[in-house]
Structure 1
């Protein structure tokens, strides 16, 4: 008879949560860069609100877990310093160079844009160089969180609010689909993307379950721990990263098994260089803040830690400034070209 230990059961459930989270990231194309560009291009903030809703949902879930005394130890926090602001700006610059944030990178890999495999490699290299060669040290740890002093009724209210938004988004999308205006072909209907609110709600729910089962986990934290030589629990965390990647690539794998043609994009040297350098900048910045943008959105911001909100605001500002600068530069070049023509 096979002896199944509680640790094996917990690890399996945690891996399933990471797998589902990967599916949600891929289907929702969750990305801070896309959220900021949506504000600039379309004057809409749906994706940004979806990210904040995910943080709110995680907060409600953590409050409920805390009220039932099943919440594990919290990760360390940090004070707000100048390094927090500079780290947030560098994180946004790195995401702009890369073309996607940490969550968006995983979504791009799932979409068959294989050049983004270089981003985690660059992230690891950036953390390693910053920690070893440049001597960047994480800020002084602070373990308390004001969020967990709220009552369980607040948690229920927060979860209900986010669930209402997600249900509304899902109903709206279903209504558009049934009227036949969402996709042009049956093939596109089968691979229809989730709305941002539905995707981030699924990410928030699975992250809370993962938090209760195995503690706070993000793949960027795993890369940072490996780069700094903290190999204590990185083996199990690396398995979670593998489950996340499996969930993200489930659609391309399923298409390949059916014999369908892969929709991968061509890998170029320029894009590889952008992914490596952008990942390295984000890795370096994560030690200054500390944490990558997935750690900020899913861990530190729900715990109402001020440094996370400051860093995320600085990151969003840097992404917006870089995006506007690129647009102005392209417009100037177009005017020069038309003038010379």
Structure 2
């Protein structure tokens, strides 16, 4: 086993532990924000700020470990973002939130993975990710200043909502996941499914990293006594499978999910990533707002 792979696995174990402590599940963050609870939103801003700092350092030092695709938003990308946001709400969790729930013993969320895999296998090969860069622009100090201004203003104004343990977990996630994105590119489980569908060889080192994240999250959940086996509910699993299918379709069109956009796409300064993440959040705000008004007949188990 090579040195870089060992470092990657160690980082993923740390990321898995941090994910259980402060999940960057945007569905939960938006739901809490609708209820005027801002701790997770502030945590996501900390993750974004730390990830952008990593990209800025990478650019300034001239390492250029892996430059993210830099492109302008298109109708396909925006439609994919709306689909992803709708799928995450239907599922009750985004891609990271799904992993968190699984590692806490909610086995019903296996349906999310199955729905995502099934959809990806049905997607025509011509629609599989192939994002052409529209420019060679890279994140620099100016973009870091912009992100810092956007992130720090709410952090200062809403500082009474800050929970130090959660902020530390989110900062750890921002640093670790940004470093992993620079080292491995898109290493999410959705991307692995897409690559398998496209006939590309499975990247075993990425599989090892994903397993390390799962182990780190599961062990931490057990240690924090948040691990409880939950019996799958057939009705909920059908909804989760549909949500996973929509998220997979959206991730193909963007390409990438909210987790990759937060720690890789937006920190790179790419306009397509900024627009896609904004549409994902806007879609969630709209749908969660509608769900909130219909709670008499709809219940959505959000982690």
Shorter-chain TM-score tier: 0.7 to 0.9
Per the alignment, residue 4 of structure 2 pairs with 10
What is the CA deviation profile of residues 151-183 of structure 1, one whole-angstrom value per residue up to 9, with x for unaligned ones? 89x68x95xx87xx69x98xx757xxxxxxxxx
Moved more, 27-36 or 244-253: 244-253
Correspondence 1:150 to 2:141: yes
Correspondence 1:235 to 2:229: no
Per the alignment, residue 188 of structure 2 pairs with 218
Deviation at 1:141, TM superposition (A): 0.9
The whole-number CA distance in structure 1 between the counterparts of 2:17 and 2:227 is 18
Within-5 A mapping of 1:1-341: 8-42=2-36, 44-132=37-125, 135-138=126-129, 140-142=131-133, 144=135, 146-150=137-141, 173=163, 194-195=165-166, 197-231=167-201, 234-252=203-221, 263-331=228-296
Name structure 2 gaps, 5 residues minimum.
299-303
Change (3 A) 1:54 1:146: farther
What is the CA deviation profile of residues 238-285 of structure 1, one whole-angstrom value per residue up to 9, with x for unaligned ones? 111111111111135558xxxx89622221111221221111110011
Deviation at 1:328, TM superposition (A): 1.9
The whole-number CA distance in structure 1 between the counterparts of 2:86 and 2:217 is 25
Change (3 A) 1:225 1:262: same
Change (3 A) 1:239 1:273: same
The whole-number CA distance in structure 2 between the counterparts of 1:115 and 1:145 is 43
3-state secondary structure, aligned to 1:148:
coil
CA contact (8 A) 1:36 1:319 kept: yes
The whole-number CA distance in structure 2 between the counterparts of 1:302 and 1:33 is 20
Change (3 A) 1:145 1:253: farther
CA contact (8 A) 1:32 1:101 kept: yes
CA contact (8 A) 2:72 2:134 kept: no
Q: Which has the larger radius of gyration?
A: 1
Per the alignment, residue 301 of structure 2 pairs with none
Q: TM-score, normalised by structure 1?
A: 0.75
The whole-number CA distance in structure 2 between the counterparts of 1:268 and 1:332 is 18
CA contact (8 A) 2:69 2:270 kept: no
CA contact (8 A) 1:55 1:302 kept: yes
The whole-number CA distance in structure 1 between the counterparts of 2:129 and 2:222 is 38
Change (3 A) 1:253 1:40: closer
Q: TM-score, normalised by structure 2?
A: 0.84
Deviation at 1:79, TM superposition (A): 2.9
Count of residue correspondences: 293
Name structure 1 gaps, 5 residues minimum.
1-6, 175-193, 334-341
Deviation at 1:12, TM superposition (A): 0.6
Change (3 A) 1:210 1:85: closer
CA contact (8 A) 1:21 1:207 kept: yes
3-state secondary structure, aligned to 1:22:
helix
Change (3 A) 1:283 1:53: same
What is the CA deviation profile of residues 26-62 of structure 1, one whole-angstrom value per residue up to 9, with x for unaligned ones? 11132111111112122x4332232233122111112
